[in-house]
Amino acid sequence: KLSESISAGALVITSDMDGIDPYRNHKFIFTSKVGDETELLEKCLKLSRKEINILKNEAHQSKIFDYSNFEKKAKKFIKSFSWDI
């Protein structure tokens, strides 16, 4: 539930999975390779309340999954079926 978490302003801790690459450059997404999970969790637990709040705010304001980012492509896709929108 990557998109829902970020849209709600939550930090994300995830495995190094397919599809994560486009979002890897955001500071509020923490990715871990197999075997490095403990190190990542320790890093996250050491964040101060201030650092967490800054990252949460950045996640919420990023709007990387906001529908408006995809609206033009979605309309083009739907129109390719000759549906009227």
From residue 26, give the alpha-carbon distance in Å to each of 6, 21, 64: 10, 10, 10
The model's pLDDT over 39-52, given as tens digits with 9 standing for 90+, comes to 999 999 999 999 99
Q: What is the mean pLDDT of the chain?
A: 86
DSSP state of 17: -
Check: CB of residue 3 under 8 Å from CB of residue 65: yes
Determine if the pTM surpasses 0.75: no
Angle at 76 between CA 74 and CA 79, to 5 degrees: 110
Of 42, 69, 48, 57, nearest to 10 by C-alpha is 57
Residue 47 vs residue 4, higher pLDDT? 47
d(CA 77, CA 15): 31
